[in-house]
Structure 1
Amino acid sequence: MTSPKPLSAGARQRLGVTDAITIDGVAYRVTGEADGGYVLQNVETALHESFEHARLAALSLAGRLEISVGHYAPITVRTRMMAGAGSVAALPVKDQQAIAWKLEWITTFLEVEAEQHNEDANRPPRERKARRMRSNKGLEEALVEVGARVQARANARAQPLAEDGTLRKPRKTRAGTRVDSCCGPGPRRFREWLNDYEAACHNPLVLRPKTARCGNRTPRYAAEVERVLQEHAEMFAQEKNRSVAQCHRKLRAALDALNAKRKAEGLPPYPVPSDRTLSRRIDALDVFLVEAKRLGVDRATRKHRFIVGKAEALRPGQRVEMDEWKIDLFFLLSQTDLLKDLTEEQLDELKKRRWFLCVAIDVATRCVLGMRVDETASVRNAISTLEMVVSDKGDLAAAVGAVTPCRHMALRPEDVATDSGGSFIDPRFHLAVIGLGSGHDIPPAGMPHLRGTIERLFRTLSLQLVREFTGQTFSNVVARGDYPALQRVSITVEDFVLAALRYALDVYHNTPHAGLGGETPANAWNRLTDLYGVIPIPGRNERRAIFGLRFERVLGRHGLRFMGLHYGGDVLRDLYLKRGGIRVPIRVDPQDIGALSVEIEGTWHEVRAATTGFDGVSLAEHQALCEQLAKRYANEALLTQDIVFEALRAIQGRASAAEKAATFLARFAEPEDVARAEHNLRTFTIPSDADFANAPAVDPFTSVIPTSGAPLPDPVEDTPATPKPKLSRRPSTPEAPTTPAPRKGPGIGFED
């Protein structure tokens, strides 16, 4: 075995002159390139600055670098203008599903066309069919084959095959989801899709339905009526505090006088707008300006003051293959809280169950970029693995005890290749792939050699890793023979996860690979990233927009509230002053609740928690913290910043080996889990930094929280006198254990 070459300081980022780069919120453009890095121009100040490759790599891995590939290219600008959005992830889910459906027809047609070109290679020119496929008749014939393949995939989604090859019971369609059918486009409509897609350089944004721009946009009223209507709408924002009905009566009187004059001149009268039309014009006015004129600037300011707290590939990432593998091993039941609430029948069933390993591997370097384990083959496991590909894995080696680091093994894939399994043809996974700007390649079923890299990796894991443990199931019952697999089980799934990750980092990445000509994957990664660079991974804000849990929250004076924390920023303050308390979409990363992404007018913005110290805190840790503090301190005014942070450190310090391993199990929590947790917490809120600053000092010896996992002491009676606070509506409960409440079963939720 050759000695491993140390990983470089960071993969060289590949930037183009048409790319839009944002570093810490500042927009840049590429104006030049040198051997050591790039010359970037500040878009606002027009000043130039040099950025070395190592610096850009560090900014990318820290999530401080955002990039929009081809943002300034003419065809990209035109496509964005026509679509009305900057990326597929910024579109409504309904439009994303429509794009995915059209894209499936187009990519399938291109696949059929490529197959026909291969068949025509050995035919005389007159007998070649590929060149006639895009004629009217050829396109009509080709769509029959395309429709059959699309319908086959739709049938696989609705009624997948069981392990024995028989059809399972059709899945129940979720409310609000699109039901695929074979009623595809006609030749004329499909030609429009194909021409638009190819003219836009394969940008899927061009396939957005035009229904977003439908409707009659011509003015409903004459210019003179519009002027009078706007005047009376602004009349509502006066210190006289007229009602909408009074404003409408004045509007009607003004138009009656105008129509009498027009009647005398022999002109037709103007129609009078309804009171609902006037109400809509009033609602369009800025909320703060209306109340400032009606109630006074001081009163409006006090009311609306925003409270702010602190196949083959040459390049890395050119092709990333993903697949799921049913591990050839039975596992012992875990002794952690994951199985605490299961019945004996459920425990007996778990003893016979084999877990699924989802892996993502880079074809060019043969490096493992993502690895997750779940009890079933699920879309949440596939999405978690894809997110791991584009995430920094700096703490991975330390968590599993590996020697070889993997901090810089993160990239944005150009193409993601999967099979047609239910986890990968699910619309949620497909939308996550195209949201990254990547292509989704699904080779024909029954041809595993088209994904040979990932298939060979599973073979390697079975021969070199699984063979080290007893309780193997082998590839089939014939190979197993009379081996008593269930009686020879010797390892838990958590221990296997740690072993698999350490094997990938220390053994597989440092072993000469035949597919690389004897070079190790770690050395291949260093060599190819230095030569080609990688496409920068998404920043924190973009990653939350693609992979985050989806919610809606009401905007208030304190910003947005989520799980007892308030989030704010200048962008929320401006939106609140303009629109008031409206509902806004948000995205939440279950592994880091220090910031959220909020959508405002089609653009995602990052807003941070008003209480410092929550960067890198997971939902599970925060839920345990809120439950502990809510039970121990029903009076929230007794909380101090030291108490909150000491409790959080105590919770984070209890991590056992099994809990560390659970980090690499499937972590794609469901929104329903968060909704239940918020309901259980009721009105308990973590105070913001401003609240802590105004709170009176508390004797730290009266509320010490031990770090050894012991129960929290009750607040003492002789706490210094403070003004009577507003008590939480949550009743005080008896002393509870410090560990968070376990989840219902071994399926992974954010409570892990």
Structure 2
Amino acid sequence: MSAAQIELHPGAHVHVQREGGRPELWKVLKRKRKGWLVQLGDQDAVTWSDDHIHDLRLNHAVELYAADPEADEHVAYCLSKAFEAFPEDLKTIALRRAEYVREVDDWHGAGETLEESYVWAALHVFEAFEGEWREEDVAYAAALAERRRQRQRKAATELKRQKKGQPLVVPKPRTVELWYRTWITHDRDIRVLLPDFRGRGDRTQRYAQWIYVEMRAHIEKYYLVKDRRRPPLTYAYGKFEGHCRGKGLDADKPRKKGEPRPYPTYAAFRTFKNGLLDAREEMQVREGGRKAYLTFNVFRKTGPLAKVMAEVEFDHSLVDLIVVDEQTGRAIGRPWFTAALDRASRMLIGCHLSFEVPSYAALQRCMGHAFWPKDLRGIEGLSNPWPCEGIPQFAFVDNGKEFRSKSLRRSETAMNFRIRPLPVMAPWLKGKLERLFGRFNAQVYAHREGKTFHSAVARGDYNSIKRAETTLPQLRRDLLDYVVDDYHVTRHRTLEARPLDVWNDLVARNGGIRAVPSHSQIIELIGQVRERPIGNTGIHLEGLNFHSDRLTALRERRGGRQKLYQVRFDPFDLWRIWVLDEETGEHIPVDCTNQAIARNVSIFAAGLHLQQARSSGAGRFVTEQDILLAKQRVEEESDRILGHGGSVTTAAKVARYRYPNGDYFTPVGPRNAGQPDPAKHAPAAERAPAEAAPVAPETPSGPAPTAAAPSASSLHESLTEDLDALMDEWSRA
């Protein structure tokens, strides 16, 4: 079956791009029987059949041109772009010229000669469209003037006389003939009727060369600089103008008519700057490559995930609610909420609520609650399950210290998941969890007395501290009810389903989740990590001594006395540590030799006890007895602050020390799995002082001298200073 004949004419060109070859431009010479005679450059002419041309078009290897696209520079430029890409004024002129050439085509098709058609088209088209075209010109000029006024920020009366555009006159028949011949030669393509205005205007250099050099130098020195103050371009122009005045150039001096300005205006200065760099390059120099990358790049939107726990977001949020003490009722401050969200199902897989500031301790409790199964059997009033558990594949985090800590890296290796740090100052990359925090604020915190606001203007006369009435256990229960019986079972707008149903469906579809080991290994897997040597008396950590006979075998090995061993511990209970034996891969449990200063004591509290003991010891060696006395004094002072004295800020810091911040959001395992029963921290008013167990002094001599007990005011001041110091440094791993 023969292919259809393609309409060509002598002088047309065919651009051919063969696979793996160079592009070729063939010229059409004449029609042959069932084909065309074509020629490539100065080579001999060959005949292409209609079938061969058809095959080239099917392979998308040929492009047809009505004339030689390289013969005329302006024509080649016009044919290289789409008609819609040209400015509006040029397109308007081309459309008006098209009316003339189409009229010529109609007259010539009716039997008139081309010469007569040129004359009649020039007159008739102008008479028919003159009124319409003049209205278009007036509207276009007004729009240009308005844009110019807005750009210059001037009133309409301050504008100079509007620039005159191309006059609207009757074209000469010779002009219409040129338009028509160009249009016909190029297969009636309207783009060849576009006017060539690219070479218009005075393009000679107006000023001396040194002025252009100085403009560039001032722009690079005062504008294209990476400065957080981001100096405006007017600052650089002011420096440039001062430099020109110093050279004796005065723009305010009267000038003769037609005499140029001695140095460029600010508008010309800005135009010169725009010619140096494009918008992206300018932002990259002034604000950094990351800002330019995020501003100008177009990113592909990811599709929905097909597996739960494939991507999990972790983050902290300061609760927008002030809580009060259970016993005294005084305002304590705002707790922190650490959460983990599954991106595929939008389920909140784990969280932690306490006065623990963002640190690995809070993150460890959140991970334990997220990875291990949640036991809701002892919690009454819940109507739905919370089935989330398992090890994620990727954990997306920000750049907080706890997310860059050695402890998290070791936990990543032990649990076999990957940490994906996100760029700084990019909260939208964890937008799903950020939106959930906003939802908590709108639907949980905002309905409670003591809520805080995003600004002092929004808060008005509302006193959040005096109106506060919610305790930490009440807030924890409110959040639990909302998460389990509201958020998880409410239709999600993006998923178009309930998060709980999506979770169950994806788990069933993918054959389950990657489960974690038993709860007894929770500290060995995700406990906080420090590296410590083994000394003659064991391992020392924040003033506490840990001893086991099994440490001797580690120390006896070659280099064992100088080696730093990986030590894992519960950041909220230092009664025991786990030392890694790298040869056997076993974690050796090592108990603290003095449980009175270690049981139910967090790493933060242990550091505070050690600082207090050192500050009251007058530079002498600190013993375990000193730490025990310091612990008793700090507990008494913290009880006093929570009960009566101290600001809300101080109370929040003390609550980090005194409150049971290590409690999981919900039970995740038996309390005696791998650790003793943690004694519940009673409220401040009902706590009995810890019973001091007999402590052997660390020095071989007699009992250490006891320092005089500090006064209440000095103890309060010292405690506050130590709290501030530890708050600044304790987020390290």
TM-score by length of 1: 0.37
Structure with higher RCO (Cα < 8 A, 6+ apart)? 1
